[in-house]
């Protein structure tokens, strides 16, 4: 009887979804509303109420997951000349102090007053890249995945803030101007559109298939940086912002040049207080080292610059009640407790889940089912429980017993002993090796297709789960052998959407070695480690041979890869199912060999190692110099080492070992002479 009732409820729900979809398409894509606002809003609310009441109701077209209607036109994909990277976030003084400390250490500086920051409000809009040649606007791209974006030139051309021809002096031969597209709050209020917020309105408008419709939306653009440039003669960021204004761009009136953490925080507090007076949404302030030469010295780590950080505004908080506590099993087997809470609006976002981090955190805060709690959501960070209101604790509240077995596969769970901290980890993990645990397998698949890995458009987390439930995929290789005829018959899919998915999958069959290593989800191997390994191994065959020939010693000399990472890779290759996955992926993918960044660098094919304290330069920057000039850093004295560079108080054991192996030992000054650098 219950099943019959559920089927009836689902049938009614899906009918409402189809009508909602029809209204959206007519409104957003055809500019021809079929019903008035009240009818539309009532239908939307009915769907949301059903979803809250019956958790088994899910559909990708739901208003809880989508705003507006995705334009049907597929924009041409174009690679950015220089990747559009993301920024690391800071939320408090401690984060800023750590950020500056890393910069000082890298540059080997003792005084923070030598650092000058360009402090620029972070607009909550849509990033865009504008390419100019000889002062003429040639092409405009969306951020996309940071490596490639969509060609939205026609839509960007409708924005009056974007000059078609640059005016003034010192215009470079070529330049890629970057900035934010947004809608002012006053303009957003006047719009008779069904967007959740100004950011969604800007995003939807830029992806319209008809530029004439985009033209009707009051989009604005503020410029703030550049990616690629040719013949740009400028020395710092603040001068560049002034130059942008002279060329005809609008820049932020709240940009400031600041020294010192205390002054950054004062400016942050003052701007946060003015937030409501500003006619567009900002969610923090971006701090950039002002001097371009210092920026170049600092360089990048993973997908973010060392010389910039986003200082987010204060977290949004609210009060809710814990309905239940559930366990999520992650890709690496980590068991994460999640509080299911009564839905609450925090900063414009409806929150119904909040992480409890781990078993120890639940005990420390004495969190129980039925408790009234304070929920915090800071920036893009997952909402989490701050504290319990013990005064409102009910007698019926229940303590949560953390499972000793994996709720997915039933395997035992353990807390690993950390040899470095000499303590047991706070996180409890499933001992299953991977694909035999359903939840781990699903999370591995989500990771494989994620933005930072293969980045298969149209194959998001919800679709991966749906395809798993329909037994269409079990392993990564199954994605390349999907039954598209079967998918056509799944509700919500049609010929066009299936064709788009097929195209997206085919398009991603060419992959770099570093992305491949990252995508297969080896524990402790993030993007940066994957890059280090790919640079050393150079070819996919060398990577596959690690397991076949037990060649793990190849990884010992990689500076930045330690025992933890090597042991994790060994465990990965010991798993027979992982080996099968690798073999199948090898058949389906074209894995590109690692390309040399600078083939003609003066340190090409030479290996280096440092020992002792260097003068006027940090160890990190010295290593960076070697790599920029095509040299290679290794972490052990062996026959593979060409030069041992010694500073003050070098390790005697390393020096003696190098002498025995007849490795050339040079001083810091001799090393700098090799690079034609006189001083720092």
- The angle formed by the CA atoms of residues 117, 118 and 122, to the nearest 5 degrees, is 120
- Alpha carbon distance 316, 310 (integer Å): 17
Strand partners, 609: 644
Cβ count near 43 (within 10 Å): 17
What is the token pair recorded at 201? Answer: 């309105």
CA dist 152 and 73 (Å) reads 11
Which of these, 109, 84, 91, lies nearest to 291 by C-alpha position? 109
Name which of 426, 429, 444 is nearest 522 in CA terms: 444
The candidate with the shortest Cα–Cα distance to 95, out of 300, 347, 290, 312, is: 312
Query: Going along 472-527, which residue ranges are E strands?
Result: 510-512
Q: Does 122 qualify as catalytic in the annotation?
A: yes
Cα–Cα distance for residue pair 370/396, rounded to 1 Å:
7
Dihedrals phi, psi of 556, to nearest 5 degrees:
-65, -30
Backbone φ, ψ for residue 161 (5° rounding): -70, -15
| Dihedral sign, Cα of residue 367, residue 369, residue 372, residue 378 | positive
The residue to which tokens 């191997």 are assigned = 525
Q: How many CB atoms lie within 10 A of CB 445?
A: 25
Catalogue the E-assigned strands of 6-61.
none
Distance between CA atoms of 483 and 488, rounded to whole angstroms?
9
Strand 632-633 to 607-611 pairing:
parallel
Helix (H, G, I), strand (E, B) or coil at 181: strand
- Cα separation, 156 vs 219, in Å, equals 9
H or E segment and range at residue 119: strand 117-123
Q: What is the DSSP string of 51-93?
A: HHH-TT---TT-TTT--S---S--PPEEE-SS------EE-SH
CA distance 410 to 440: 12
- DSSP code, position 516: H
Catalytic: which of 122, 508, 623, 654? 122
Name the burial class of residue 32, with classes exposed (0-12), middle (13-18) and buried (19+) by CB atoms within 10 angstroms of its CB. Answer: exposed
For 293-333, the DSSP string reads HHHHHH-EETTEETTEEEEEPPPEEEEEEEEEEEEEE-TTS
- Which residues are tagged catalytic? 122
């Amino acid at each position: 009887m219950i099943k019959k009732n559920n089927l009836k409820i689902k049938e009614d729900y899906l009918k409402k979804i189809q009508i909602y979809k029809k209204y959206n398409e007519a409104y957003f894509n055809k500019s021809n509303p079929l019903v008035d606002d009240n009818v539309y809003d009532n239908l939307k609310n009915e769907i949301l109420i059903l979803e809250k009441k019956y958790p088994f109701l899910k559909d990708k077209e739901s208003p809880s997951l989508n705003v507006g209607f995705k334009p049907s036109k597929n924009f041409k994909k174009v690679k950015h000349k220089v990747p559009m990277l993301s920024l690391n976030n800071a939320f408090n003084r401690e984060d800023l102090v750590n950020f500056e400390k890393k910069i000082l250490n890298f540059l080997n500086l003792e005084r923070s007053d030598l650092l000058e920051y360009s402090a620029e409000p972070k607009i909550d809009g849509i990033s865009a890249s504008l390419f100019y040649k000889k002062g003429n606007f040639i092409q405009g791209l969306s951020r996309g995945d940071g490596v490639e974006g969509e060609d939205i030139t026609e839509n960007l051309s409708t924005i009056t803030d974007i000059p078609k021809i640059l005016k003034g002096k010192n215009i470079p031969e070529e330049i890629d101007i970057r900035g934010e597209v947004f809608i002012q709050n006053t303009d957003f209020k006047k719009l008779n559109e069904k967007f959740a917020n100004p950011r969604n309105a800007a995003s939807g408008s830029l992806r319209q298939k008809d530029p004439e419709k985009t033209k009707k939306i009051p989009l604005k653009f503020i410029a703030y940086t550049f990616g690629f440039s040719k013949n740009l003669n400028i020395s710092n960021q603040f001068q560049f912002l002034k130059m942008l204004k002279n060329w005809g761009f609008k820049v932020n009136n709240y940009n400031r040049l600041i020294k010192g953490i205390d002054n950054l925080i004062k400016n942050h507090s003052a701007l946060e207080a003015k937030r409501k007076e500003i006619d567009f949404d900002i969610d923090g302030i971006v701090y950039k080292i002002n001097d371009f030469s210092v920026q170049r010295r600092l360089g990048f780590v993973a997908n973010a610059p060392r010389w910039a950080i986003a200082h987010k505004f204060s977290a949004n908080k609210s009060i809710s009640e814990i309905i239940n506590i559930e366990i999520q099993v992650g890709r690496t087997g980590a068991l994460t407790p999640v509080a299911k809470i009564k839905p609450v609006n925090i900063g414009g976002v409806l929150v119904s889940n909040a992480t409890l981090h781990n078993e120890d955190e639940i005990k420390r805060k004495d969190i129980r089912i039925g408790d009234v709690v304070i929920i915090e959501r800071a920036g893009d960070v997952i909402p989490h429980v701050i504290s319990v209101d013990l005064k409102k604790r009910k007698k019926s509240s229940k303590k949560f017993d953390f499972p000793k077995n994996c709720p997915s596969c039933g395997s035992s769970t353990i807390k690993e002993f950390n040899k470095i901290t000499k303590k047991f980890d706070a996180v409890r993990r499933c001992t299953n090796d991977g694909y035999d645990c359903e939840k781990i397998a699903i999370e591995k698949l989500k990771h494989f297709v994620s933005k930072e890995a293969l980045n298969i458009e149209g194959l998001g987390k919800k679709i991966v789960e749906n395809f798993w439930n329909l037994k269409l995929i079990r392993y990564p290789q199954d994605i390349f052998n999907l039954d598209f005829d079967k998918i056509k018959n799944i509700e919500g899919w049609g010929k066009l959407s299936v064709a788009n998915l097929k195209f997206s999958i085919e398009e991603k069959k060419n992959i770099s070695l570093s992305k491949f290593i990252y995508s297969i989800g080896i524990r402790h191997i993030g993007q940066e480690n994957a890059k280090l390994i790919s640079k050393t191994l150079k070819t996919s065959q060398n990577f596959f041979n690690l397991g076949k020939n037990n060649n793990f010693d190849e990884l010992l000399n990689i500076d930045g890869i330690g025992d933890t990472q090597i042991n994790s890779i060994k465990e990965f290759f010991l798993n027979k199912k992982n080996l099968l996955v690798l073999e199948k992926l090898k058949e389906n993918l074209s894995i590109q060999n690692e390309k040399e960044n600078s083939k003609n660098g003066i340190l090409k094919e030479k290996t280096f190692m440092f020992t002792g304290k260097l003068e006027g330069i940090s160890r990190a920057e010295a290593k960076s110099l070697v790599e920029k000039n095509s040299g290679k850093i290794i972490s052990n004295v062996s026959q593979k080492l060409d030069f041992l560079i010694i500073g003050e108080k070098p390790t005697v054991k390393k020096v003696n070992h190098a002498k025995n192996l007849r490795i050339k030992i040079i001083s810091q000054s001799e090393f700098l002479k090799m690079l034609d650098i006189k001083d720092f």
